[in-house]
Amino acid sequence: MSPFKLIRVALESIRKSTMRSFLTMLGIIIGVAAVIVLVAMGEGAQAQIRQQIAELGTNMIVITPGSSSQGGVSRGAGTFNRLTVEDADKLRSESLYFSAVSPVIAAPAQAVGGEGNWRTLVQGVSLDIVLIRDWDVETGTFFDQNDVRSRRKVAVLGHTVAEALFPGVDPVGQTIRLRNVPFQVVGVLAEKGQTAGGSDQDDVILAPYTTVQTRLAGRMFIAQILASTSSPEDVAAAQAEAALILRESHSLAEWEEEDFTVRNQTEIAEAAEQTTEVMTLLLASIASISLLVGGIGIMNILLVSVTERTREIGLRLALGARGSDVLVQFLVESLVMCAIGGVLGIALGLAGSEILGAVAGWSTVVSPQAVVLALGFSAAVGLFFGFYPARKAAALDPIEALRYE
Mean pLDDT of 384-402: 65
Q: Which one is predicted more confidently, 252 or 375?
A: 252
Give the per-residue pLDDT at 309: 61
Task: Output the pTM of the full model.
Answer: 0.59
Return the top range by mean pLDDT from 92-96, 220-224, 330-334: 92-96
Residue 77 confidence class, pLDDT cut points 50, 70, 90: very low
Q: Which tens digits make up the pLDDT trace of 296-339?
A: 777 777 666 666 666 666 666 666 666 666 677 767 777 787 78
Give the pLDDT confidence score for residue 20 in this predicted structure.
Answer: 74
Neighbour tally for 142: CB within 10 Å: 18
pLDDT recorded at residue 76: 45
Q: What is the dihedral of CA 168, 171, 177, 182, to 10 degrees?
A: -160
* Residue-level pLDDT at 360: 65
Name residue 178's beta-bridge partners.
111, 181
pLDDT, tens only, 178-211: 989 999 999 999 988 776 556 788 999 999 999 9
Above 70 in pLDDT, residue 9? no
Can you give the pLDDT at residue 129?
92
Find the length of the chain.
405
Give me the pLDDT at residue 50, please: 66
- pLDDT greater at residue 33 or residue 78: 33
User: pLDDT of 18-46, one tens digit each?
Assistant: 777 777 777 778 878 887 887 787 777 77
Instruction: Answer with the residue of higher pLDDT: 70 or 310.
Output: 310
Predicted confidence (pLDDT) per residue in 158-177, tens digit: 999 999 999 888 999 999 99
Rounded to the nearest integer, the mean pLDDT of the chain is: 79
Q: What is the pLDDT of residue 121?
A: 92
Long-range contacts of 210-214 (CB under 8 A, 24+ apart): 210/124, 210/148, 210/149, 210/151, 211/124, 211/147, 211/148, 211/151, 211/152, 211/153, 211/154, 212/105, 212/107, 212/122, 212/123, 212/124, 213/85, 213/105, 213/124, 214/151
For residue range 251-287, list pLDDT tens digits in order.
888 888 888 888 887 666 666 666 666 766 776 676 6
Domain ranges of the chain: 3-52+271-403, 83-258
- pLDDT for 153 equals 95
